[in-house]
Structure 1
Amino acid sequence: MDQATQEVGALATQLPALSAGLGQVGTYLATQAHAGDATAAALLAGLQTSTSTLPTAAQVTAMTTQLAALDTGSHAVADGSSALTTGLRSLADGAAQAATGARSLADGTATLATGAHRLAAGTGTLASGTADLATGATAVADGATKVTAGTQSLATALTGGATAIPQDTASQQTQRADVISTPVTMTSTDVAKAQGFGEGFAPFFIPLALFVGALITWLLLRPVPPRALATPASGWRTTLAGFLPAFAIGVGQVAIMLAVIHYGVGLHLSSVTGTITFTLLIVAAFLALQQTLNAVFGPAAGKVVILALLMLQLASSGGTYPVETTPEFFRVIHPLLPMSYAVSGLREVITGGIDGRLWTSVAYLGTLVVVSLAVTAWRAGRMRTWSLERLHPVLEI
């Protein structure tokens, strides 16, 4: 209660100040009221001026009507624009189709031009062929005329021939038929008939045995005797000093072999004298050839060469099969080797039917003997030079 009394007293103290403030506010409001009246008057004057410039109701109605018409026209323009766009698209598609059609037309025009050129060329060819056909038709017509004339001539000739055919008897007809069916009669004659396979294989195995016999002979004898080299004898004498003993052994080989073949095996010899003589020539040729190879190449290397030569001769001599059936290499060396001529000559003298092949073989083998002895004589002359190594060899085979 005391506190409320105090607050009321404080408020009473402040009332004068509050009254003074309210007076100031009233003065300010009066001042502002006068100023607001002036401003309001100005605003009113402006509003009156603006109101005088506003359109009338009739003008507003007319403007509204025009706006409605404008809105309708804008919608029509929009619809026309859509139709125009659609038409432009259709026009573009049509233009593309027109371009494609133009290209197709151009290609077709080019094809048409090419076909026209071909047609023109074909027309020319057709014209030329027509001319040839006309020429050929004329030739056919002429030929047909000639054929007709020839047919008539043939008919006339056949008629005349039929009347001219002789009337043969049965025996004459048989004789004519035999002559027509067998115009030629073949007669075979064996010039050199062999009685068996022995006559065919003996000309091969006899030279083979003689060649091996010559090889064995030179294993026993020296091709160039050292004693003969130590003497002042000539090369020929030195060569013959080695050849003649070997040939004597060869003669014994021939005698024994031919006796066994003829009397023991029963081989028929068409010419005994010719077989013996030619076989001795073969022995002489083989001995002389092997003597030369031993003298030129030496005892060891010479025997190797002789064995190689034997192998070549077995395949190329034509003793078992015709040389024409062998490989080309053996056909080439066939005429160069001595056994080929030995086989050929023995076939002549054993089976008979002697011809020029025998004399060719004799000439070849005789020449081989002379040439081989000459080469050995030359080599013997070169071997007269002695050295300590030759007098006392390290190894002798």
Structure 2
Amino acid sequence: MKSLSVFFKDLGTAVKNPKVLIPIIAIMFIPIIYSGIYLAAFWDPYGHLDRLPIAVVNQDQGAELEGKQLHVGEDLVKELKDNKEFDWQFVSKDQARKGMKDNKYYMTITIPENFSTQATTLMDDEPKPAELVYEPNASYNFVASQIGNSAIKEIRAKVSSKVTEAYADSLLDQVSKLSDGIAKAGEGAGELHSGAGDLDEGAATLKENLAKLANGTLELKDGLSPLTKGVSELHSGASRLKQGSSDLSSGLGQLQAAGTKLAAGADQASEGSGKLVDGLQGSLDGAKKLNQGLVSSEAGSERLLVGLQSAEDGSAKLSAGLQSSEQGSAKLESGLASAADASGQVADGAKGVADGLKQLAQASPELAQNPAVQKLLQASEAVAQGSAKLHDGQQQLAQGAAALHDGQQQLVQGAAALHDGQQQLVQGAAALHDGQQQLVQGSSQLAAGQQQLVDGAKSLQSGQNQLSAGLKQFNAKLGEAAQGGQQLAQGAGQLDNGSSQLLAGVNKLSSGVTTLADGSVKLDDGAGKLKEGIDKINDGSNELAYKLNDAADRASINKTDAMVDMFADPVQTAENTSEKVPNYGTGLTPYFMSLGLFVGALISTIVLKVRESSVPEASGWNLFVSRTFAFGGMALFQSLILTTIILYGLGLEVQSVPLFYLYTFLVSLAFIFLVQMLVTWFDMPGRFIVILALTFQLATSGGTFPIELIPDWLKPLSPLLPMTHSILGYKSVISTGDYSVMWHQAGILAIYGGVSIVLTALYFLFKGKKNQKAQAAETAAV
């Protein structure tokens, strides 16, 4: 109860203040103002179509069908005069044109002059449908033009029925005439049956004679078979002989040409073998000279090996001497370094003596005048200078000795490398000597092989000469054989042509006899089929006479007006009204009630405070309870007023009045809590979000046109927005009575409302604490 105290204080403040109370009362009527006025204006527009003026212009001149006058235009005008669905205005063409221009008529229907004439062309080779011209005044009112389109379809059906009735009447008359014609055809079929009997006897005699002809031609065909086979075998043998002799002649010619080339090649080979003998003889002389040079080279390599071995011994001795010299230079460097140190000490002592004498002389002028002291002073200075120079010389000698020692070390290293190189040269010279020995042996073998090649080449040259002589004699014999082969091919060709002509003549004879035999057999078969066909004609003509007489009896009909009407309009429709909506307003009520409640929720946040209270010290929780009860009460009053006026003011019929009241209250609560949450959190941007959501709901909720007709990119938004679910629930409680759908949609709307309440509570609990701290800080500062 403590939490409700803030709500009652806010309520009392609002009641006492007319400036607040009057707007609150006004927004309770926003949903009914928004939706009720539109529904009242267009509650049942299709029930007043008789007020909608439509111009009708009849220019039909009529026509004649099977000797009867046909005036489809006049019949249609009579039908429309008895029809009260629209305000039909029967005017001239000029009046209709002026009325459309002045927006007096919503549509013009014109019946052309040739309307009846074209209706009579159904039985023509190129029938032309009758055209009923209508012109909707869509620029004046698009909805009225759409209603007119539905009306013209109904008129077209009526005109089609009238034309079909005239055709049916004429067609039934033709059927009666057809019955008389069938009866006469039955009499003719009886006469046909008598003639078919005589024809059957002649066909039997024809078949007997044709059978004899067929047997004779078959015997002639069998006698020609051995002759044809023999001639065919003769032709086949002649063809093979011709082909073989041609191949033989061609092969002999090719063999002669090849023999000529072979003889020429043998002559060239003989000349080449002579050149080969000469070349191999020269190569043999070169091999012998190579062997002599290699023997001399082998002796030189032996001498080189002895010299290198001597040089290797000298380099070893040189290396030993340089090592001894390096040791001596090291000792020299050490002694000169000691001498330099000693000379340094002597120079320092001499300089000290000279300095001491100079100080002594300066201290005793008399002593300084003494010639002996002066000489001693000069001698000490000279000694000091000399010892200094000696020290410098000693240092230079020590440095030279160090450089000498470094050079000696490098010489020792070079001598060691020289000794290693000398050893490698000795080893290489030994390997060279061994290779020279192997080359000497190989050159000896090469010379022996060259001698054998020379002997073989001489034998080859002798054989080539013999081959060349034999090939010349063979080519002469091949020329004679080639001439004989050509003569044989010519004779075989003549034999093949003669056998081919003979085979062609026999084939023509055999083909003619075969054709004659086949023709006689077919004639025999045809005669049999002819007799069978005549038998069938005889039977069929008998049956035809019977059937035609029976058909004449069946085709005789008794034409009545009911029969003609059935032909003209054979299909009727029966409407199932279990799911029918009584009027336009009932169908749009779910859409406009949802729209009115959503707009009412939005305007409520403008009049009612969403974050503030008349109690300054109210906590966040108390503010939440106060605002929730305020908006909940507004939802209750808006739903009660809207439902009551829709039910009893407009006369809406629903499946359940209590559930209609309850469901409207649930929809109103869900909408107002959702709008409250958005405005509480975001203030003016929240109202913009609400307007944006309202815009999308107008397009995607399915309240006017089916959702399937909206663009594909809008379809995913439909199930996410609350008005889609509120409309589905309203359709159930108003029209279908499927309350399970209503409760399911109510559950979804409850989720919208519950989540919105929780988010609103979070705002007041957290933001309220911050506001209290800010107010406490301001109070403390004061």
TM-score scaled by length of structure 1: 0.49
TM-score scaled by length of structure 2: 0.26
Task: Tell me which structure has the larger Cα radius of gyration.
Answer: 1
Higher relative contact order, structure no. (Cα contacts within 8 Å, ≥ 6 residues apart): 2
